[in-house]
């Protein structure tokens, strides 16, 4: 098994021409004879070797297209591993997608818009979103500012949105920080 893994990982196998499973069986036999002698290790039966080969070469295209194999080998490793955020705000994602809906733009003509949003991955909360005819980098800056800065109370907002109407202990929070008086009750 180790011999087959080593042969599949060799640069010659990755960059070389397409080979058959019988070639790999022959090559494993050569490697084992070189390491353990002629009668040192015996190879499994053909069907067992095929099952083993199929399992160890899964996703490598070892016997498939040489172009695909070289392309997969030349692909860089991903820059990040899997991240599991546990606290709100630990991992935020920003994404932009065109909406398949016609809207009336500022100039009065119908057109399509892009929805750009920032999502907190831990709580699955949309912290900020914007609709624009075309997404630009200034939209990302705007979303970032809206996400990290609490919105102040604006004229015309309903009384129910005030922080003082929240279930949070407003009086105690207001004593700690005067900015809470004008904060909106949103996540």
Residue 79 lies in a domain: no
Contact (Cβ atoms closer than 8 angstroms) between residue 8 and residue 56: yes
Residue 82 to residue 107: CA distance in whole angstroms: 44
Pair (61, 112) in one structural domain: no
Residue 1 to residue 70: CA distance in whole angstroms: 23
Max Cα-Cα span within the chain: 89
Pair (132, 173) in one structural domain: no
Pair (9, 70) in one structural domain: yes
Pair (132, 119) in one structural domain: yes
- pTM for the complete prediction? 0.43
102 φ, ψ (degrees, to nearest 5): -85, 135
Domain that holds residue 29: 2-74
Query: What band does 77 get if pLDDT is binned at 50, 70 and 90?
Result: confident
User: pLDDT tens-digit profile of 138-181?
Assistant: 888 888 887 876 555 555 556 656 666 667 776 777 677 776 66
Pair (94, 58) in one structural domain: no
Residue 81 lies in a domain: no
Query: What band does 44 get if pLDDT is binned at 50, 70 and 90?
Result: confident
Query: Backbone dihedral region of 29: left (phi > 0), alpha (psi from -120 to 50 degrees) or beta?
Result: alpha
Q: What is the pLDDT of residue 4?
A: 85
Query: What band does 185 get if pLDDT is binned at 50, 70 and 90?
Result: low
Contact (Cβ atoms closer than 8 angstroms) between residue 163 and residue 185: yes
Pair (155, 145) in one structural domain: no
Residue 35 lies in a domain: yes
DSSP β-bridge partners for residue 116: 96, 130
Residue 177 to residue 187: CA distance in whole angstroms: 17
**H or E stretch covering 56:** helix 46-56
Residue 36 has pLDDT above 80, yes or no: yes
Task: Give me the number of domains the chain comprises.
Answer: 3
Residue 80 lies in a domain: no
CB neighbourhood size of 183 (10 A): 20
């Amino acid at each position: 098994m180790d011999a087959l893994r080593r042969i599949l990982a060799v640069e010659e196998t990755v960059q070389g021409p397409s080979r058959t499973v019988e070639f790999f069986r022959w090559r494993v036999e050569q490697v084992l004879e070189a390491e353990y002698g002629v009668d040192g290790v015996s190879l499994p039966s053909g069907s067992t070797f095929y099952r083993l080969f199929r399992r160890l070469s899964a996703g490598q295209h070892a016997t498939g297209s040489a172009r695909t194999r070289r392309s997969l080998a030349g692909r860089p490793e991903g820059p990040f591993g899997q991240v599991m955020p546990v606290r709100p705000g630990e991992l935020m994602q920003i994404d932009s997608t065109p909406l398949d809906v016609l809207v009336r733009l500022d100039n009065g003509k119908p057109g399509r818009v892009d929805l750009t949003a920032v999502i907190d991955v831990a709580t699955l909360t949309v912290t900020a979103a914007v609709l624009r005819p075309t997404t630009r980098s200034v939209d990302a800056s705007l979303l970032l500012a809206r996400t990290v800065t609490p919105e102040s109370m604006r004229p015309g907002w309903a009384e129910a949105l005030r922080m003082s109407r929240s279930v949070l202990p407003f009086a105690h929070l207001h004593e700690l920080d005067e900015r809470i008086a004008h904060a909106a009750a949103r996540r």
